[in-house]
Amino acid sequence: MKISIVGAGNVGALSAMRIAQYNLGDIFLIDIVKGLAEGKALDLADAQAVLGIDYNIRGSDDFNNIKDSDIVVVTAGLARKPGMTREELLARNSQILKEVCLNIKKLAPRAVVIIVTNPLDLMTYLALKVTGFAKNKVLGMGSSLDSSRFANLISQELKLPASSIEAMVAGAHGEGMLPLAKQTKIKGVNLEEFLSDEKTACLTKKTVERGAQIVALLGSGSAFFAPSAAVAQMVRVIAKDEKRILGACAYLDGEYGIKDICIGVPCRLGKAGIEKIIELELTAKEKKELLRSAEAMRGLLKQLTF
């Protein structure tokens, strides 16, 4: 198994570390900044004896090293600054991603591609169109991270372990995300049995604002611990063909009444990438909000050129 990560910034490098610890295969870390990926790969390689794990990781500024990758994770791009929305990154990051995806198309035509670059839903759509890959082979890491954030906030409110909470978030990764309280369970029991509608609405708002909150507090750059954990989980599920249901940004072709949009929904993931999109029974309000999130993405797609 060959796993390449394009972008050796905080998210890319920490994703490489987590994937290495899962021992999933050979890892190639790529970045256009000369020496950055190679230096971080050497540092990660030096941790093997301490960790008691053997893995193979290499870094380079040469894109040809992604050749014949089975999985390619794309984290390359500019990070958000305080006060900046993910959508404001669209113009700059779309140019970066287009070049990356043309290289993936040429060098790793059989790869499953996981997009992490923001604005994530729009970049996933762009990657799908530029590579020309089948819709199941290109997906975004978004709602899996959002679900983890929702679960953490619930755990803090209820003083319960986050690991006991099965949270579900759909919609666009950003201001258009939709935490699904009725689909969120604590040890199999619906969230509404634990929290009032008002408290759930408060936690939902906090989940939507979490990324911006972290960006504002950091002052420079954006979140990377939780995003890299979500990336590594997604890579592991695909590499090990676990057939597990995770939130992912997927291309919809009629599911949920939405066509020709990439947006966060629960998906069964395996070695083929997205093996099935899971259609949940949403309330009328949730359906309306999901459609609104999709239409917001559709408006922004007009700014993209392929």
CB 277 within 8 Å of CB 143: no
CB 65 within 8 Å of CB 4: yes
Same domain, 124 and 147: no
Q: What is the CATH number of the domain that holds 211?
A: 3.90.110.10
Predicted model pTM: 0.95
At which of 140, 165, 190 does a domain end?
140
Per-residue three-class SS string for 13-30: HHHHHHHHHHCCCEEEEE
CB 250 within 8 Å of CB 262: yes
Same domain, 82 and 188: no
The predicted model gives 84-109 an average pLDDT of: 89
Same domain, 132 and 189: no
Same domain, 66 and 147: no
Same domain, 68 and 190: no
The predicted model gives 140-165 an average pLDDT of: 96
Task: For residues 275 and 273, give the distance between their C-alpha atoms in angstroms, rounded to a whole number.
Answer: 6
Catalytic residue among 2, 18, 149, 173: 173
Same domain, 128 and 67: yes
Could you tell me if residue 306 is inside a domain? Answer: no
Residue 86 — pLDDT band, cuts 50, 70, 90? low
The predicted model gives 107-116 an average pLDDT of: 98
What is the three-class DSSP state of 34? coil
Which residue range forms the structural domain that includes residue 193?
143-301
At which of 93, 112, 140 does a domain end?
140
* pLDDT over 70 (residue 45): yes
Task: For residues 161 and 213, give the distance between their C-alpha atoms in angstroms, rounded to a whole number.
Answer: 23
Tokens of 248: 């992912």
More confident residue, 273 or 303: 273
Residue-wise pLDDT for 226-267, tens only, equals 999 999 999 999 999 999 999 999 999 999 999 999 999 999
* pLDDT over 80 (residue 193): yes
Same domain, 267 and 193: yes
Could you tell me if residue 33 is inside a domain? Answer: yes
Same domain, 107 and 213: no
Task: For residues 29 and 286, give the distance between their C-alpha atoms in angstroms, rounded to a whole number.
Answer: 39
Task: For residues 297 and 98, give the distance between their C-alpha atoms in angstroms, rounded to a whole number.
Answer: 18
- Answer yes or no: 289 catalytic: no
CB 126 within 8 Å of CB 306: yes
The interaxial angle of helices 90-107 and 120-131, nearest 10 deg, is 40
Q: Which backbone phi and psi does 264 adopt, to 5 degrees? A: -75, 125
Q: Please, which residues have CB within 8 angstroms of residue 244's CB and are 6 or more apart in sequence?
A: 237, 268, 269
Q: How many helices (H) and strands (E) does the chain have?
A: 9, 14
Residue 189 — pLDDT band, cuts 50, 70, 90? very high
